[in-house]
Chain A
């Protein structure tokens, strides 16, 4: 079953096609890296998928439903691009922030019962952040904040995880640790993952497939396909394509790569 389906999707903002005739499908259990330069439409694509941008033409389906009419948000976990809060006085503890993730699908007045609290605790434990449960999120390090955001996205056991540059504000080791967590979720819990990133060479360590966009679609497929793709060679140049594939092969040899 396809989790995400884009058919000839175009999104125009200020007279410019930010998304130009984009078509791709993400199946259950896939780990797809969405790659492209600044302004290439990656975040717009994600926001269109999540129903945050509603003016796109073409057909977008999330679990087979138009995102604007989609109701079962419990199935979707989302980590937005910006770090949660730069204000260390924002009065939200880690357990309160994670508990917010349970709101999807609830009717007002929403309450967090003992089963909900147990779910929050189990998620904190799974992500190894129990000891910071009562700390304010604004006072945590960037890596801890991203774990909290991940916990909030995961607390409802989503089937799809959408991550918009989650490691952009992290140092290399914190970013690696975070990405390994996501990979484990995809492998062990079969969570479908859509990951927006700048890092085309690094994405092959984690993702099954890569979607490269530059407002229009440049490439969609596995890393193996990418290395022999004439479209990719035309867009990047043969030399750059070779360098990217070489780095990918090197990581594969070290036993960290998958999906090629």
Chain B
């Protein structure tokens, strides 16, 4: 038993020597914290499926980027940002329910992506790697970009923290406190769009919303204060990504899927804890 554990520990330490694992851990750690923090606000605003909708738009923008043989990131950032504002506008001005607005933009993204992919002769390997993620193959430049943008997004969340909490809790009263809730909501969806684009290489378009939803949902089971819930969500996200990458390496499984499975197990643990403690 002890020998087996020693072997496992040695395998983990060995993995840390590989550059591709180091890159995956660094980018994954930042993105996971970022997603979890934003996820708490999105889940509480009942807007959590926006990640799913925007990931489908990302599919379209990646297909577009690949079609024009340019970096999908350059196309995805503006396209997904505009789409996120479109969802918000439909919800606010057009009097469309949030989930309906997300559904409309989401299906439009998928349809557009399929059309572009079919025009370019069907799905190719590049597009598939974005669909399911390939954190173990990311480059140092992508790691640097992920870290820099994560730092920027986290700084903006800290800057707007109290406004975000007030607008999430009670938007009408927040307005009467002089908070520009329209701007706060725009900041939230724009940060989400940036996060979705950043996450696509790590967990893949198909699973990106799980990064936003599951750690936040797990933290909400614990019955903590707002600040502690955000920290707990970040911890859940961080542990899921780090453990998922090692499991993926050890068991030769796709990293994105392994991360989501760990995240789900942690959710079950938090849910169970809530039942046991009666919180």
Report A's interface with B, CB cutoff 8 A: 50-52, 71, 73, 76, 78, 80, 84-85, 89-93, 96-97, 100-101, 103-106, 108-112, 134, 136, 152, 162
Give CA–CA (A185, B163) in the complex, Å.
Answer: 28
Residues of B close to A134: CB separation below 8 A: 225
**A110, B229: Cβ atoms under 8 Å?**
no
Chain A interface mostly: loop
- Determine how close the nearest CB of chain A comes to the CB of B192; give it in whole angstroms: 19
A108 near B226: Cβ-Cβ < 8 Å: no
- Give me the 7 closest cross-chain CB pairs, A-B, nearest first: A73-B178, A91-B229, A110-B162, A104-B177, A78-B176, A93-B225, A109-B159
The binding surface of chain B is classed by DSSP as helix
- Any A CB within 8 A of the CB of B223: yes
Q: B166 near A: Cβ within 8 Å?
A: yes
- Across the interface, name the chain A residue whose C-beta is closest to B233: A91
Residues of B within 8 A of A90 (CB): 44, 169
Residues in chain A near residue B169, CB distance under 8 A: 84-85, 90, 92, 97, 100
Q: In the complex, which residues of chain A have a beta carbon less than 8 angstroms from the beta carbon of B228? A: 91
B147 to chain A, nearest CB (A): 22
Q: How far is the CB of A67 from chain B (nearest CB, A)?
A: 10
Give the interface size class of chain B.
20 to 34
Other than the known A50-B175, A96-B226, what 18 A-B pairs have Cβ atoms closer than 8 Å? A71-B178, A80-B172, A85-B169, A89-B220, A89-B223, A90-B169, A91-B40, A91-B44, A91-B220, A92-B165, A96-B165, A100-B173, A103-B162, A105-B178, A109-B160, A109-B161, A134-B225, A152-B173
Whether B163 and A110, one on each chain, are in contact in the complex, defined by CB atoms closer than 8 angstroms, is yes
CB distance from A4 to the nearest CB of B (A): 14
- Is B14 among interface residues, defined by CB-CB distance under 8 A? no
Specify which chain A residues have a CB less than 8 angstroms from the CB of B226 in the assembled complex. 91-93, 96
Q: Please measure, in the bound complex, the distance between the C-alpha atom of A111 and the C-alpha atom of B165, giving whole angstroms.
A: 12
12 chain-A/chain-B pairs, Cβ below 8 angstroms: A50-B176, A73-B177, A78-B176, A85-B169, A91-B225, A92-B165, A96-B227, A103-B174, A108-B159, A109-B160, A110-B163, A162-B176
B179 CB contacts on chain A under 8 angstroms: 103
Chain A residue nearest in CB terms to B176: A78
Residue of A nearest to B166 (CB): A100
